[in-house]
Amino acid sequence: MAKPKNAITPTRTENFPEWYQQVVRAADLAENSETRGCMVIKPWGFAIWEAIQRDLDGRFKATGHQNAYFPLLIPLSYLEKEAEHAEGFATECAVVTHHRLETEKDPETGKTKMVPTGKLAEPYVIRPTSETIIGAAFSRWTNSYRDLPLLINQWANVMRWEMRPRLFLRTAEFLWQEGHTAHETKAEALEETKMIHQLYADALQDLLAIPVIMGEKTEAERFPGAESTLTVEAMVQDKKAIQAGTSHYLGQNFAKAQDITFVDRDNKEQHVHTTSWGVSTRLVGTLIMAHSDDDGLVLPPRIAPQQIVIVPVTPKEDSRNAIIEACEALATQLRDHCYGKEPLRVHVDKRDLGGGVKKWEWVKKGVPLRVEIGPRDLEEGKVCLQRRDQTPNEKSFISQEEFLLGVVEIIDDIHTSLLDRARRFRDENITACTDLAYFEKHWEDSNPNPGWLVTPWAGTREEEEEISKRLKITIRCLPIDRQDEPDTPCFMTGKPTKSRAIWGRSY
């Protein structure tokens, strides 16, 4: 069957940004809202986020963290206490200045309009992140070393006024989790930071089939107010980078600003050491760009709202009921199987629509496995399988008995296939570079999708910022598995260094 006229156009190679928007639209994931820069996440898109949330929440709780909730509005004075942190978010802050609306008639048009009145004595900032407001709570909760560690996470929305919004990747309001912890010693806080860093890397691989580079941000790219920022960097199909999650060691900076103290084991007052860490709905955008193709969304099985869709093929009315009953019976049997410790999610599409229309809808929505049962399949006890990690017209026929015995292996193989494909693509598009002339040529405008470069690095913050601004690139991270290599001259300064840096363009 030929592709429908509304198949994804343009293709990835023709116009990647527009292709992305069309995939989001075709899969019915989200849409722009009436509020500038904000999105409406539709049921299929929100179900993906719920699957991510469910998995991460389990991982957090398994490591001793508890969920809590903190105010949306942060007093401006709280941000002012931590100057570097506030400055880092200042241009993105939305500020509440009034607490009441009153009606007023426009003298020219005579129309009634709403006018803000009741100016607040102190403005509130809609949280861009919650270090300051949570720090205030921590200062009330912490008196003795016996109160530590505090291991808190919240699932919430935040607002950062985005000038160039793009669904899921950059919106003014987005959903996320933000973890905040307080510790007795620097060593414990650093251990927490590294543990969450690894947790994120594992979750992206296990859940989203996305391989990441684990590394540390340079001083220029560090979270405002942090002493160290660890990141997981993902490469998507236009070879740009996405910062998929970060874990920050905040030292005692926020503790001193928020007066978070405790009496230690020697009966002396000390400031706690804090961390913060988070991922957001940006992960949905990351997985779209990492796996999807010119036919639409491609979903790894663990986060697919429906992992298997069974489509009855009923060319004749007299066989319709028998085929639908067979499909329902198969679905019931499949739901007895578990994948990732959860029952398989199976849907039978009984809508009165043509088979081609149904097929392309589920292709575009990225369902990992489609199953068709028609009159001949019913007679022979077979099913027709179509995997989303393969081309849409590829199919195989196996007996229902064989399918039921091997369905979990098939689903897991789809995950492995997507992960291997993404890892292969990433590794093929990271190039070693030791020469400044080669480095600069790599980023020329004639090369629109240049991939990443890994270089020896011993430059200063000023040197990094100059070349980043000029070539419109950033150091994505200093990969943690490549920071003790043989001394090699820095490609820019010529100084010998064991450190390596990954450079790329990013979202």
For the segment 126-135, what is each residue's pLDDT rounded down to a tens digit? 999 999 999 9
10-residue mean pLDDT series, the chain (507 residues)? 66 96 98 95 98 98 98 93 73 94 88 94 95 95 98 97 91 97 98 98 98 97 94 98 98 94 98 98 98 98 98 88 96 97 96 90 98 95 97 95 98 98 98 96 88 97 97 97 89 96 97
Is 17 part of a structural domain of the chain?
no
Same domain? 346 vs 391: yes
Inter-CA distances, 237 with 417, 442, 473, Å? 16, 18, 17
Considering the domain architecture, whether residues 453 and 387 belong to the same structural domain is answered as: no
Q: Do 480 and 361 reside in the same domain of the chain?
A: no
Are residues 231 and 360 located together in one domain of the fold?
A: no
Nearest-angstrom CA–CA distance, 7 and 297: 11
**CATH number of the CATH domain containing 464:** 3.30.110.30
Q: What angle do CA 290, 387, 199 make, to 5 degrees?
A: 40
Gap between the Cα atoms of 383 and 205, Å rounded: 31
Asked whether residue 420 is assigned to any structural domain, the reply reads no
Q: Which amino acid is at 170?
A: R
Q: Assess contact for 328 and 396: CB atoms under 8 A.
A: no
Asked whether residue 324 is assigned to any structural domain, the reply reads yes
Contacts of 215 (CB under 8 A, 6+ apart): 230, 231, 233, 476, 477, 478, 479, 480, 502
Query: What's the CA angle centered on 285, arms 421 and 242, to 5 degrees?
Result: 70
The SS3 of residue 169 is: coil
What's the pLDDT score for residue 1?
47
The candidate with the shortest Cα–Cα distance to 82, out of 331, 258, 209, is 258
First to last CA, the chain: 36
Closest to 85 measured CA to CA, from 255, 236, 244: 255
Q: How far apart are CA 117 and CA 361, in angstroms?
A: 49
Task: Check residue 4 and give its pLDDT.
Answer: 53
Residues 129 and 241 in one domain: yes
**Confidence at residue 367, expressed as pLDDT on a 0 to 100 scale:** 98
Domain final residue pick, 291, 324, 351: 291
Six-digit token string for 52: 């991510």
> Hey, is 293 helix, strand or coil?
strand
Domain boundary among 269, 291, 313: 291
Is the domain of 120 the same as that of 175? yes
Q: Which residues contact 289 (CB under 8 A, 6 or more apart)?
A: 20, 236, 237, 238, 242
Q: Is residue 18 part of a domain?
A: no
Side-chain half-sphere of 112: how many Cα atoms within 13 Å? 3
Determine the Cα–Cα distance for residues 126 and 373; give it in Å rounded to an integer. 52
Q: Decide if 22 is inside a domain.
A: no
Q: Are residues 139 and 243 in the same domain?
A: yes
Q: What is the pLDDT of residue 108?
A: 83
Co-location of 268 and 307 in the same domain: no
Q: What CATH number should be reported for the domain holding residue 145? A: 3.30.930.10
Q: DSSP secondary structure string, 422-472?
A: HHHHHHHTEEE---HHHHHHHT-TT-SS--EEEEE----HHHHHHHHHHHT
Tell me, yes or no, whether 40 and 181 share the same domain: yes
DSSP β-ladder status, 241-251 and 488-489: unpaired
Specify whether 278 is located in the same domain as 377. Answer: no
| Total number of domains in the chain | 3
pTM of the model: 0.95
Any domain includes 43: yes
Q: Is 5 part of any domain?
A: no
Classify residue 1: in a domain, yes or no: no
Report pLDDT digits (tens) over 334-375: 999 999 999 999 999 999 888 889 999 999 999 999 999 999
Q: Are 407 and 436 members of one domain?
A: no
Structure tokens at 225: 């107010």
Q: Clarify whether residues 111 and 244 are in a common domain.
A: yes
Q: Which of 356, 381, 413 is the last residue of a domain?
A: 413
**Closest by CA position to 451, among listed 480, 427, 420:** 427
Q: Residue 149: give the domain boundaries.
A: 27-291
CA-based radius of gyration for the chain: 26
DSSP secondary structure code for residue 401 in this structure: H
No. of H helices and E strands in the chain?
Answer: 14, 27
